[in-house]
A and B are shown apart, each in its own frame.
Chain A
Amino acid sequence: MTTSLAPDAGYPAPQAWGAARLLAGTSAGRVDLDRHRTVHGRPRSLEAEPLAGACAAVRLLGRGGAAFPVATKLRGTPVGSRTHILVNGAEGEPASHKDRALMRLAPHLVLDGALAVARSLQTRRVSIVVQDATAHRSLAGAARERGDARGIRIIHHDHGFVGGEVRAVVRALSDGPPVPPGRRLLPTVHGIDGRPTFAANVETFAQLALLLALGVDEYAGVGARDEPGTTLLTILGDVPHPGVVEVPTGIPLSALVGSGTTPVLVGGYHGTWLPGPGDLAVSRPALRAAGAPLNAGVLARLPDSTCALGEVATVARWLAGESTGQCGPCFFGLPALAATLDQLAAGRPVLPHALHRVGLLPGRGACAHPDGAATFVRSALEVLEEEVARHRAHGRCGRPLLCVLPTTTRRGAA
Chain B
Amino acid sequence: MRLEIDWTRCDGHGLCARLLPERIALDEHGFPVLPDRHVDDRLLPHARRAVAVCPSLALRLESPAPTRPVR
Chain A residues engaging chain B, CB cutoff 8 angstroms: 62, 64-66, 68, 73, 76, 165-167, 179, 181-184, 186-188, 326-330, 332-333, 336, 360, 364-366, 368
Contact = CB atoms under 8 A, between A and B. Distances in A.
Given A184-B66, A333-B27, A333-B29, A328 B12 contact: yes
Contact of B31 (A76, A179, A186, A329): A329
A381 B56 CA distance: 36
B71 A332 contact: no
B71 A62 contact: yes
Interface string B21-49: 00000011111010000000000000000
B12 A186 contact: no
Given A333-B27, A360-B27, A68 B10 contact: no
14 contacts: A62-B71, A76-B70, A179-B8, A182-B6, A184-B69, A327-B7, A328-B31, A329-B7, A329-B27, A332-B29, A332-B31, A336-B29, A360-B33, A366-B7
Contacts of A328: 7, 10-12, 29-31
A71 to B, nearest CB: 13
Nearest to A326: B8
Nearest to B69: A184
A76 B8 CA distance: 27
A68 B31 contact: no
Contacts of B8: 179, 181-182, 326-327, 366
A104 to B, nearest CB: 24
Interface of B: 5-12, 27-31, 33, 66-67, 69-71
A32 B57 CA distance: 53
Contacts of B12: 328
Given A166-B71, A336-B29, 8 more contacts: A68-B71, A76-B70, A167-B71, A182-B6, A326-B8, A336-B28, A364-B7, A364-B31
Nearest to B10: A328
Given A332-B29, A336-B28, A360-B27, A68 B70 contact: yes
Contacts of A332: 29, 31
A202 B2 CA distance: 37
Nearest to B37: A363
Contacts of B67: 184, 186
A322 to B, nearest CB: 16
A188 B67 CA distance: 12
Nearest to B28: A336
